Amino acid sequence: MNTRNTKVMNRFDVTSRLIAKLKHEEAVIGGIGNTNFDLWAAGHRPQNFYMLGSMGLAFPIALGVALAQPARRVFALEGDGSLLMQLGALSTIATLKPKNLIMIVMDNGIYQITGAQPTPAANVADIVAIAAGSGLANSTWAADEEDFERLVDEAMSASEPSLIAVRIDDKPGVGTTRRDPVQIRERFMHGLGVREPL
Amino acid sequence: MAIAEQQTQGSSERSWHSIVLQTLKRNEISLIPYVPDRVLTPLIKNLHADPFFTTFATAREEEAVGIVSGAWMGGRRAAVLMQTSGFATLANVLASLAVPYQIPLIMFVSERGTLGEFNYGQSLVCRTMRPVLDSLALEHHTITRLDELEFIADRSIKQAVTTQAPVALILNPLLTGGKTFDK
């Protein structure tokens, strides 16, 4: 485990720090549950997409956006439990190498939202080692909040996809996303310049 | 079977896979994630060879559905290729992503489990496909005839895009030749 030297941070705080750095209409995909709740709580932006199900698909959805809009930076926020559902997606991303895709893993080792049960990986696996072993060489643990911000800055101009893992506490999400999937999707498409409102 | 095998193996303009490829291109569908299937091999090979398409394998079918959904929202059209058993893994993502978010998810499903299936498990998996599609009231067509393929595929793609709804195009062994025990 290489996480022992990393500070335990807070999802909402880290998410807010990310959002504060976005100046170029970067897309952000929030995974199921707390990752999109905290994305919502950090302040809605038209370039945010919130998942209401399909656990594990934040990175694949973000990959699709990144392939459709190679000039736009695309961030994906995913929990460790969700990522464990779809580890194969890391190799797909490593093969396609979209340089505009930045993956952020919020790792608390638990399924917080269902009652804080430990994930099967909690005490044995290292998310960054898994990502690197899947072919994503540019995968790093954030040591603390300042290091996280530095890694985000680096990822903004990276020439390959980046994965930043953040060790977080066991706190629930701060807000609750308005669960209106059609509006979420439509607003997101407006935010990406794909469509104009009626 | 002789006719079906000609269709599968031939590289003429009238093969099922060349019609699918041309129909995708005509409808500006350029991103093709897939989980492979023996029957789909000539289509996958020709998609890889054509620079119009970005064609790549995914580890799971639902991963491909996520990619297609993201691409659509980003303004790029995409379609997923899979086998019947792969479709059987999709109920969750169809019900929680493609349908409620109104994504025109275009699925080509190579049908195994019928018309000469030799694997009991495949035949059982196949029986789950249409009930799942029907339970979500999803549009689906089983294509058995070469002369109907272009019409069904082209119209279904256009309907999916304009109505923002998923569609499954099931490629039956009568069309493709299917997979037989001696292959």
A38-55 pLDDT, tens digit each: 999 999 999 999 999 999
pLDDT confidence band for B179 (50 / 70 / 90) = confident
User: What are the Cα distances from residue B89, in Å, to A25, B98, B101, B125?
Assistant: 34, 14, 19, 10
Q: How many domains does chain A divide into?
A: 1
Which of A26, A48, A61 has the most B C-beta neighbours within 10 Å, making it the best mutation to test the interface with B?
A61
For B84, the token pair is: 């019947």
Burial environment of residue A171 by CB neighbours within 10 A (0 to 12, 13 to 18, 19 or more): middle
CB contact under 8 A, B31 and A181: no
Residue A55: give its domain's CATH number: 3.40.50.970
CB contact under 8 A, B63 and A192: no
**Segment A59-65 mean pLDDT:** 98
Predicted pLDDT of residue A98: 98
Predicted pLDDT of residue A4: 66
d(CA B171, CA A31): 33
Q: Does residue A1 surpass a pLDDT of 60?
A: no
pLDDT confidence band for A5 (50 / 70 / 90) = confident
Residue A119 near residue A110 (C-beta atoms within 8 A): yes
Angle between helical axes of B41-49 and B16-26 (0-180°, round to 10): 40
The helix (run of H) or strand (run of E) holding residue A66 is helix A58-68
Predicted pLDDT of residue A162: 98
Query: Is A175 within the bounds of a domain?
Result: yes
pLDDT tens for B29-50 read 999 999 999 999 999 999 999 9
- Counted residue by residue, chain A has a size of 198
d(CA B134, CA B121): 21
Query: Is A82 within the bounds of a domain?
Result: yes
Q: Which residues contact B43 (CB under 8 A, 6 or more apart)?
A: B17, B20, B21, B81
d(CA B82, CA A55): 20
pLDDT confidence band for B68 (50 / 70 / 90) = very high
DSSP state of A75: E
Q: Does residue B21 surpass a pLDDT of 80?
A: yes
CB contact under 8 A, A194 and B96: no
Sign for the CA dihedral angle at A97, A102, A108, A110 comes to negative
Predicted pLDDT of residue B18: 98
How would you write chain B as a 3-class SS string?
CHHHHHHHHCCCCCCHHHHHHHHHHHCCEEEEEECCCCCCHHHHHHHHHCCCCEEEECCCHHHHHHHHHHHHHCCCEEEEEEEHHHHCCCHHHHHHHHCCCCCCCEEEEECCCCCCCCCHHHHHHHHHHHHHHHHCCCEEEEECCHHHHHHHHHHHHHHHHHHCCCEEEEECHHHHCCCCCCC
**Segment A136-158 mean pLDDT:** 98
Q: Does residue B7 surpass a pLDDT of 60?
A: no
Q: Does residue A2 surpass a pLDDT of 80?
A: no
| Percent of chain B whose pLDDT exceeds 90 | 90
CB contact under 8 A, A64 and B66: yes
Predicted pLDDT of residue B182: 65
Q: Does residue B180 surpass a pLDDT of 90?
A: no
| Percent of chain B whose pLDDT exceeds 70 | 92
For A136, the token pair is: 């994503």
pLDDT tens for A101-146 read 999 999 999 999 999 999 999 999 999 999 999 999 999 999 999 9
For B183, the token pair is: 């292959």
* Residue A40, domain extent: 11-191
Q: Does residue B10 surpass a pLDDT of 50?
A: no
Sign for the CA dihedral angle at B151, B152, B157, B161 comes to positive
Query: Is A2 within the bounds of a domain?
Result: no
Chain B residue with Cα closest to A70: B74
Q: Does residue B17 surpass a pLDDT of 90?
A: yes
Residue A144, min C-alpha distance to chain B (Å): 31
**Segment A148-166 mean pLDDT:** 98
| B2-176 belongs to CATH 3.40.50.970 | yes
Could you tell me which residue, A189 or B2, shows the higher pLDDT?
A189
- Counted residue by residue, chain B has a size of 183
Q: Does residue B2 surpass a pLDDT of 70?
A: no
R_g (Cα) of chain A, nearest Å: 15
A89 touches chain B (CB under 8 A): yes
The helix (run of H) or strand (run of E) holding residue A188 is helix A181-191
Query: Is A163 within the bounds of a domain?
Result: yes
Chain A stretch 125-154, residues whose beta carbon is closer than 8 A to a beta carbon of chain B: none
The helix (run of H) or strand (run of E) holding residue A118 is strand A117-118
Q: Which residues contact A126 (CB under 8 A, 6 or more apart)?
A: A1, A2, A3
Residue B61, min C-alpha distance to chain A (Å): 11
d(CA B114, CA B124): 9
Give the global pTM: 0.95
